[in-house]
Amino acid sequence: MIEARCVCVNYGGLNALNNVSLTMCDGEFTAVLGANGAGKSTLLKVLTGFLRPSSGEVFFGGKPLREISARGLALRRSVLEQEAHSEFDCTVFEMLSFGGFARGGVFCAAPGEGGRICAALEKVGLSGAEGRKYSELSGGQKRRVQLARAIFQLEDGGDMAGKGLFLDEPSAGLDPSHAHCAMRAVGEMCARGVSVFAVLHDPNLALAYADKCLLLKGGEPFMFGRAEEVLTAQNLSEIYDSECEEVFTARGKFVVFPGKGALRRA
Amino acid sequence: MAVRSASADFGGGERGARARRRGLSRNPAFVGCALFFALAALSFASLSTGSSGADFSLPFDILFGGEVGPSAELIFFQIRLPRLCVALIAGVSLSLAGATMQALFRNPLADPSVMGVSAGAALGAVVAMSFFGGALSLVSLQIGAVVFGLAATAFVCALGRGGTILSCLLGGIAVNALCGAVVGFFLYSAREAGLKSYIFWMLGSLDNADWNSIAHASLVSVPAWIAVMACARGLNALLLGWEQAYHSGVRVKLLWRACVAATSLMTAAAVSICGIIGFVGLVIPHIMRLWTGPDNRRLLPLSALAGALLMVGADLLSRAANPADPVPIGVITSLLGVPFFIFLLKFGKGEK
């Protein structure tokens, strides 16, 4: 279980996050939505331990985050950052294996890592890509390689319950089919007991995959609760400051943003 | 459906599998063995030749207790063997320092001279030489080199604090130029011996090899070599970016400090015995990375071997050209390595 209590972050007098509290149970998918600059990525940085909050505290399995070592933390949570780049030309296999730092010894990786790397790549629809050069992949493929790396970091062949997967816009740059493929891979992790925390820009992905949803507006928590209750047209138009409509199909509820005064050819 | 169409991009994995079965020439174990045997052969040649002529049976005679005259023995143990040791220590130190710094800065342009270490160490040695002559000169020179080398690094790190990696690199280049200029000033002021020692410090030379300085230098550099090799996996994680490295469990600040200290120490130790030798630290790691990939667990040891190989080879060539007064070794390392590097850069990528 991962818990944030009254987290505040100040960037030089600017309140980036104000009094955010949330609880993530094992196997729960929590999505966070908000306009650009609402503090989503800042919250993710605080939850992963990269940024120390100005006040408030994050607990990982009941233990304060700052009391857990970097290596201990790496064994229990992994992070997909918004952008990842490498100046040196790695293969996909190397890219993933570099993420397995915490499990290995001084010079050698943990045994059985090769198989886990291939399995993680298969989960994101990239089986057989391990020998490819990372720099030669398309943007969407790179994104999925990074997701595979985050998944691989958590796979130690044992129990996955109590671990956390933190994703900053996992579907960015992916076409709809691959976005769903990536989200399904994330959903599989949830089913195995991993708590997932994802910054999402597409409320429909949150409606389809998330259990809980946190809406942020200007660094303040706007609403936190079950995804289908939180993601209403009224709430969404409020946080994005843009007109929102609900659409119902045989597959359930979807939301669209028609846009005020959008130009449209008749 | 999505999964199937995605894996079809890679020809059902066949292409990936083919890429994994790399040719023998890229197999790290093979490359390591080849470099090792080449190094052994060149070392043998280096021990066999000198200003008194070439005699390829000499190393065998000494190794297996054959008949050796006292003058040949003196030449072997007091001139050729220390010279080889200096070449090996400097080659390993410079290339390891370069490889480590490139991983640390995540920038292929980083090398010991960029952090200002080399020129700082040379300045320290020259300053110590001018102020403490006589019996203390050797020890004070080496201590001066190490202290100034570390100070230069600390200054560059302080300059770059809070800034980007680029500001650190630019600060290093500035410190490097400044220290080089001050060395030039010091040696120009000492007219008589000035030119000779300016060439020694700024272009590098193996002529001053002796057992005491080798012992002191290896005391500093061997632990530093072991330290950076032990950091190889952490440096690998750093290739993903500092933030991602932290997420993967690396204590980034600790790794950074340990590696900067170790590279500064080994560079300063190398400079203190043979002056500034450019190019090795920048290009050897580059060549090895193009050859066998960026994994530091392979890159660091292979760069160390290749750096030693280049130094021993360059020394052989410099002595072959003029046995009595060898060309400064830094000239040869650049002449040898740059064309090979350009070739790899231009044509090496096609076969990947």
Nearest to B6 among A89, A98, A178 (CB): A178
Which residue in chain B has the smallest CA separation from A180? B2
Question: Under an 8 A CB cutoff, do B239 and A101 touch?
Answer: no
Distance from CA of B6 to the nearest CA of A (A): 5
CB A156 within 8 A of CB A99: no
Label each residue of B266-291 as H, E or C.
HHHHHHHHHCCCCCHHHHHHHHHHHH
Question: Under an 8 A CB cutoff, do B244 and A99 touch?
Answer: yes
For residue B200, name the pLDDT band (cuts at 50, 70, 90).
Answer: confident
Rounded CA separation B66/B49 (Å): 18
For residue B128, name the pLDDT band (cuts at 50, 70, 90).
Answer: confident
Rounded CA separation B144/B121 (Å): 7
What 3-state class would DSSP assign to B140? Answer: helix
Closest CA to B126 of B204, B182, B210, B166: B182
Query: What's the confidence (pLDDT) of residue B349?
Result: 55
Task: List chain B residues with CB under 8 Å of A122.
Answer: 3, 7
Give Cα separations from A52 to A3, A79, A224, B151, B173 (angstroms): 15, 16, 22, 31, 34
Question: Under an 8 A CB cutoff, do A94 and B232 touch?
Answer: no
Which residue in chain B has the smallest CA separation from A109? B233
Q: Which of A66, A80, A101 is the best mutation test for B, with the most CBs of B within 10 A?
A: A101
CB A121 within 8 A of CB B256: no
- Reported pTM: 0.87
Scanning the structure block, which residue is given the tokens 């929102």? A244
This model of the complex carries an ipTM of 0.90
Task: List chain A residues with CB under 8 Å of B20.
Answer: 93, 130-131
User: In sequence order, what are the beta bridge partners of A249?
Assistant: A252
pLDDT score of B1 more than 70:
no
Using the CB atoms, write b or e for B31-52: b if 16+ within 10 Å: bbeebeeebeebbebbbbbbee
pLDDT score of B83 more than 50:
yes
Distance from CA of B254 to the nearest CA of A (A): 11
- pLDDT tens digits, one per residue of B139-171: 888 889 999 999 998 888 888 776 677 888 888
Rounded CA separation A167/A205 (Å): 13
The DSSP H or E segment spanning A246 is strand A245-249
Query: What's the confidence (pLDDT) of residue B54?
Result: 73
Query: What's the confidence (pLDDT) of residue B325?
Result: 80
Question: Under an 8 A CB cutoff, do B2 and A181 touch?
Answer: yes
Nearest to A107 among B18, B20, B232 (CB): B232
Task: List chain A residues with CB under 8 Å of B16.
Answer: 128-132
CB A131 within 8 A of CB B20: yes
Which residue in chain A has the smallest CA separation from B238? A98
- pLDDT tens digits, one per residue of A10-34: 988 788 899 999 999 999 999 999 9
CB A5 within 8 A of CB A56: yes
Give me the mean pLDDT over the B174-202 stretch: 81
Question: Under an 8 A CB cutoff, do A74 and B240 touch?
Answer: no
Question: Under an 8 A CB cutoff, do A133 and B352 touch?
Answer: yes
Query: What's the confidence (pLDDT) of residue A221?
Result: 93
Per-residue confidence in pLDDT tens, chain A, 266 aa: 899 999 999 988 788 899 999 999 999 999 999 999 899 999 999 999 999 999 999 999 889 998 999 999 999 999 999 877 777 788 999 999 988 899 888 888 888 888 999 999 999 999 888 889 898 898 889 999 999 999 999 988 888 888 999 999 999 889 999 999 999 999 999 999 999 999 999 999 999 999 999 999 999 999 999 999 999 999 999 999 888 999 999 988 999 988 766 666 55
Query: What's the confidence (pLDDT) of residue A60?
Result: 92
Task: List chain A residues with CB under 8 Å of B295.
Answer: 90, 94
Query: What's the confidence (pLDDT) of residue B135?
Result: 57
Query: What's the confidence (pLDDT) of residue B129?
Result: 80
User: In sequence order, what are the beta bridge partners of A205?
Assistant: none
Nearest to B295 among A69, A84, A94 (CB): A94
Task: List chain A residues with CB under 8 Å of B245.
Answer: 101
Query: What's the confidence (pLDDT) of residue B64?
Result: 77
Query: What's the confidence (pLDDT) of residue B11?
Result: 41
The single-letter DSSP state of residue B115 is: T
Q: Which of B15, B240, B295 is the best mutation test for A, with the most CBs of A within 10 A?
A: B240
Which residue in chain A has the smallest CA separation from B239? A86
